[in-house]
Structure 1
Amino acid sequence: MKLPYEWQIGWRYTRAGKRTTGNGFISFIALISMSGIALGVAALIVVLSVMNGFQRDVRDRMLSVLAHIEIFSPTGAMPDWQLTAKEAKTNSEVIGAAPYVDAQALLTRGESLSGVALRGVEPSEEPQVSDIDKEMKMGSLNDLTPGGFNIVLGGDLAASLGVTKGDKVTLVAPEGSITPAGMLPRLKQFTVVGVFESGHYEYDSSLALINIRDAEVLYRLSAPTGVRLRLKDMQRAPAVARQLVHTLSGDLYIRDWTQQNKTWFSAVQIEKRMMFIILTLIIAVAAFNLVSSLVMTVTNKQADIAILRTLGAQPGSIMKIFFVQGVTIGFAGTALGIALGCLIAWSIPWSVPMIEHLLGVQFLPPSVYFISELPSELVASDVIRIGSIAFVLSALATLYPSWRAAKVRPAEALRYE
């Protein structure tokens, strides 16, 4: 199929070198514009992929400790938690349920003192809703036997208290006992039987686990605080939580993992949005370099434009010629940038360690950062959005030069030819 002559001439100008244009500098500017768009697109894809990777790693480490959904009673105890767990499992998205007790406490050993988030768990059922059993560096969750008053600590928490497996710590419960001398806190000695490391500082430094029966005795509860759930797809947690509101019986509170960490996820989204805007400005600058390139091309091609006009070409056709040229440059730069960005983002997990080995450096030292490897997650929607914006900006940048070409007057252009 024969293409319209506007497309043929536009592509010819795009491929033209010094011999055709008569000016190698114009071709050089066009090449720089294309390269700028490509680098801007590639940089934006790589940066967003790395940010997606960090978000994914932190989220996964967070959810190795947290449940996807928590159901609890406003009274602080849930005597019929088995019924609630059974009703929750009727939802096809729920694949695990386990009871828990949620409380606050102080742990002391010698002169060391640390506040902790205390969680009472059922060791046999906890693996259904969290991966703490896979994160154990010492001991096992099964060592949390009822009545044994044993405790499992996060790695940073154990280090701050200076304890390891087999050591004793004293737990101070905030709910005290009334005595003739006044209100006194309840104290209980626990034996450290395990240490876990989830890779998430907040939980490694503040979470302690004990058997759910010991927690009920210590805090004088008649039943667990609530039920924790795990889903097939954690991304559907908000939707499943809304469904459970209508299917569970009783007066219950339901919250999903996005609500528990709403501030953190909001901060990450704001950072991604601002980074996207900043790097898009780089693409905009490169795209609008097309303006100068096309304006110079139009100036250089005034005689050709005049001849086309005298042969009967309409102003709209002249505009199409230079629009095709600019859009072709923008499309080529965008496509090259997408290919380069995707290649770099895909290769980061293995190329960065290789570079670190060759240079003898570590970009993310474990002593400073909680993630020692540079992660990357290439998201198709990000690539499509970046490519679309780059192409649209390139197309917009061609409008003024194309309009200027359409306004060239044949008589004036050929006067000195």
Structure 2
Amino acid sequence: MNLSYFISKRISREQQQGFASTIHRIAIASIGIGLAASILSFLIMRGFQDTVKQKVYGFNGHMVVTKFTGSRSSEEKPMNYHVDPYDHPEKYPFVTHMQEFAHKPGLIKTEQDEVLGVFVKGVGKSYDVNAFRSSIVEGKFFDFPDSGYAHQVVVSKIIARKLNAKVGDDLVVHFFQNPIRSRKLTISGIYETNLSEYFDSKVIIGDIRMIQKLNDWSDSLAGGLEVFVKDEGPEKMEEDAFTVSEAMDLDFDVQLISDKYVQVFEWLNLISRQVNILLVIILTVVCVNMISIVLILVMERTQMIGMLKAMGATDKMIRSVFLFNGINLLIKGLVLGNLLGLGLSALQYYFKIIKLNAHDYYMSFVPISWNWEVVAVLNLVTLFVVTIVLLVPTMVIARINPIRAIRFD
């Protein structure tokens, strides 16, 4: 058995009570609380990012394809959506789904005789209802008939509240065109993304064939295409957008959703930076605590250090004793930190104890996104950084004089 490890184990057994025991508990607690706070912070951060991205991407896809237009009209310029990536998806393995859409502005009159401006987003049979279903809070998504168009729509909870309407009620939408046309539609479902600034306050979802008929478009025309790709990071998405753009005519514009809603994604990046700063602060506090604790342990064992030196032990061997002792405390702290961090995360994940203001945070409770790679990295970073830091206080051992140390009281 390694002599340094043997002495370290004997010291640990002898320090089960008294002042040294209190120091050990403080060390374990500081590491455990620090790691637990880091795990909670990163899982919550990932939860925020994943939840908001899922809402944005579920509503728009990862990128949109439209035709270039020089006008400032609120309606898109019609395009033939039967482009190569749409008709031959097997050529583009990074594309998971494509769906056509069209927007048309309209007005709805409320019961209070107020006028509510909305955008009707027309979608077709290719629409990925599953990606949007998590946002539906009442009713269901409407069915597409074989002929004609669906006379049902899905409205947001905000719009339904303003109209004092519920699932099954009718509403009349007046569309901007010459002459103005009106359509009586039935509410089949109510959605809520909490992204009211972008979607909930102004968008209702209907059948694209209604918009095609209102605009006198053929069945092959739409306002644009929403493209879903494998979410492999911003750089990969830019490459995918370039590949899609290369496969289309020059008058087509391919825009990443992260660029279209840049404020939302900048906010998510800001959260990442804040959590990274918090991790640095936590590691700094833990490291300072460990340096102080190891120094105290060294001072408490000054006589033992003097005797070991007098018996011929090298500074390296004595430093290893306290290094093993520190690593033992570190491992216990990591175990405690994982139990606390993962335990509290599980409580929030299953019981949603901490609530949020959905208007400000885009969700009604603190989200948890399980990412075991992040948990593993946090454990490894804490283990590596604190182990390196433990070398600093043990350097004091080299300056201890054996004779003075033996006389030390």
Using a 3 Å threshold, how does the CA distance of structure 1 residues 43 and 318 change in structure 2: closer, same or farther? same
Q: Which amino acid in the other structure matches residue 382 of structure 1?
A: V
How much has 1:224 moved relative to structure 2?
1.6
Deviates more, 1:129-138 or 1:80-89: 129-138
How much has 1:103 moved relative to structure 2?
4.1
Q: In the alignment, what sits opposite 1:191?
A: 184
Among candidates 143, 168, 171, match of residue 168 of structure 1: 171
- Kindly indicate whether the alpha-carbon contact (under 8 Å) linking 1:30 and 1:290 is maintained by their aligned counterparts in 2: no
How much has 1:213 moved relative to structure 2?
3.8
Measured in 2, the distance between the counterparts of 1:367 and 1:390 equals 36
What is the DSSP-based 3-state SS (H/G/I as helix, E as strand, rest coil) of the residue aligned with 2:60? Answer: coil
Q: In the alignment, what sits opposite 1:266?
A: 266
- For normalisation by structure 2, the TM-score amounts to 0.81
What is the DSSP-based 3-state SS (H/G/I as helix, E as strand, rest coil) of the residue aligned with 2:92? Answer: coil
Measured in 2, the distance between the counterparts of 1:153 and 1:42 equals 41
Q: In the alignment, what sits opposite 2:210?
A: 214
- Kindly indicate whether the alpha-carbon contact (under 8 Å) linking 1:97 and 1:128 is maintained by their aligned counterparts in 2: no
Q: Which amino acid in the other structure matches residue 211 of structure 1?
A: D
Q: CA RMSD in A?
A: 3.4
- Kindly indicate whether the alpha-carbon contact (under 8 Å) linking 1:129 and 1:230 is maintained by their aligned counterparts in 2: no
Q: In the alignment, what sits opposite 2:50?
A: 56
What is the DSSP-based 3-state SS (H/G/I as helix, E as strand, rest coil) of the residue aligned with 1:248? Answer: coil
Q: Deviations over 1:141-174 (max 9, x none)?
A: 437974787654223213213345453324242x
Using a 3 Å threshold, how does the CA distance of structure 1 residues 398 and 301 change in structure 2: closer, same or farther? same
How much has 1:91 moved relative to structure 2?
1.2
Any gaps of 5 or more consecutive residues in structure 2? 70-75
- Kindly indicate whether the alpha-carbon contact (under 8 Å) linking 2:140 and 2:190 is maintained by their aligned counterparts in 1: no
- Kindly indicate whether the alpha-carbon contact (under 8 Å) linking 1:72 and 1:253 is maintained by their aligned counterparts in 2: yes
Q: In the alignment, what sits opposite 2:83?
A: 83
Measured in 1, the distance between the counterparts of 2:11 and 2:117 equals 71
Q: In the alignment, what sits opposite 1:71?
A: 65
Q: In the alignment, what sits opposite 1:102?
A: 103
Q: In the alignment, what sits opposite 2:73?
A: none
- Kindly indicate whether the alpha-carbon contact (under 8 Å) linking 2:58 and 2:131 is maintained by their aligned counterparts in 1: yes
What is the DSSP-based 3-state SS (H/G/I as helix, E as strand, rest coil) of the residue aligned with 1:96? Answer: strand
Deviates more, 1:394-403 or 1:124-133: 124-133
- Kindly indicate whether the alpha-carbon contact (under 8 Å) linking 1:120 and 1:213 is maintained by their aligned counterparts in 2: yes
Measured in 2, the distance between the counterparts of 1:410 and 1:115 equals 86
- Kindly indicate whether the alpha-carbon contact (under 8 Å) linking 1:346 and 1:378 is maintained by their aligned counterparts in 2: no
What is the DSSP-based 3-state SS (H/G/I as helix, E as strand, rest coil) of the residue aligned with 1:82? Answer: coil
Using a 3 Å threshold, how does the CA distance of structure 1 residues 149 and 363 change in structure 2: closer, same or farther? closer
Q: Deviations over 1:367-413 (max 9, x none)?
A: 99864455322212321332233224422442332011221011222
Deviates more, 1:389-398 or 1:288-297: 389-398
Deviates more, 1:212-221 or 1:296-305: 212-221
User: How many residues in Structure 1 have an aligned counterpart in Structure 2?
Assistant: 392
Q: In the alignment, what sits opposite 1:301?
A: 301
What is the DSSP-based 3-state SS (H/G/I as helix, E as strand, rest coil) of the residue aligned with 1:65? Answer: helix
Measured in 2, the distance between the counterparts of 1:133 and 1:315 equals 63
How much has 1:36 moved relative to structure 2?
1.2
Measured in 2, the distance between the counterparts of 1:145 and 1:133 equals 28
Using a 3 Å threshold, how does the CA distance of structure 1 residues 211 and 416 change in structure 2: closer, same or farther? closer
- For normalisation by structure 1, the TM-score amounts to 0.80
Measured in 2, the distance between the counterparts of 1:302 and 1:310 equals 12
What is the DSSP-based 3-state SS (H/G/I as helix, E as strand, rest coil) of the residue aligned with 1:120? Answer: strand
Measured in 2, the distance between the counterparts of 1:405 and 1:370 equals 55
- Kindly indicate whether the alpha-carbon contact (under 8 Å) linking 2:142 and 2:153 is maintained by their aligned counterparts in 1: no
